[in-house]
Amino acid sequence: MRLIFLGAPGVGKGTQADLIAAKFGRPKISTGDILREAVRNKTPMGVQAKACMDQGQLVPDSVVVGIVKDKLAEPSCSKGFLLDGFPRTVPQAEELAAMLKARGLQLDRVINVSVPREDIVRRLTGRRSCPKCQAVFHVEFTPPKKAGICDRCGSELMQRSDDKRETVENRLAVYEGQTAPLIAYYRQRGLLSDIDGSGKVEQVQQRVVELMATNGLA
């Protein structure tokens, strides 16, 4: 099982990747999680990544590709993996294809999760995060019991810089200009399947599982 979850920021592809990874016992490789950890730890790579993320720009390919290459080499990925947030550009997709080809492997399916743009903006700008325990809430959909306070540890919640409206709009523009061409890239190769990301998490998960079953992956 070698899958890619593709889609604009805020469509819920990370949530679906987490659920499918847990359901089928395969590791999820999320470049977003890895980069945020580097930012928290203020590593040289993290400092470089933060400058890009704060402006809604993509992190340089050289940084992202190196991270993914190291992960794919780990024993935990020998029976398959789910990629979330990578590749983001056609050159990254070509790098991934080369990595897999060198090991005699290939992708099974690319799942493209889509949600209307106005819903994406609503989802992202309403997110609030805990800087201490990393818990995530939403002012409308999953609000904390006490406004502005983390349910888990009692810390004050904050809106991440990349969840502010101006940055969200910029992130979507970057996606549409640089990442959306991946849809055509993978469709041309017969690997792309579209999934409606609207509705409840459980409903979207059912659509994903049914798609995987149709393609002999579940």
160 is catalytic: yes
Q: Which of 165, 138, 131 is nearest to 56 (CA)?
A: 165
Contact call for residues 59 and 35 (beta carbons, < 8 A): yes
Q: How far apart are CA 197 and CA 9, in angstroms?
A: 12
13, 50, 128, 207: the catalytic one is 13
Active site (annotated) includes residue 123: no
Q: Which of 26, 88, 123, 128 is catalytic?
A: 88
Prior bond to 87 cis, omega within 30? yes
Taking alpha carbons only, the member of 36, 87, 41 closest to residue 64 is: 87
Q: Is 171 a catalytic residue?
A: yes
Cβ atoms of 185 and 104 within 8 Å: the answer is: no
Q: In angstroms, rounded to a whole number, what is the distance separating the alpha carbons of residues 21 and 86?
A: 16
β 136-138/81-84 pair status: unpaired
Alpha-carbon distance of 166 to 199, in angstroms, equals 25
Q: Contact 49/63 with Cβ under 8 angstroms?
A: yes
Catalytic residue among 2, 26, 171, 207: 171
SS3 188: helix
C-alpha distance across the termini of the chain, in Å: 9
36, 109, 127, 207: the active-site residue: 127
Q: Can 165 be counted among the known catalytic residues?
A: no
**Catalytically active residues, by annotation:** 13, 88, 127, 160, 171
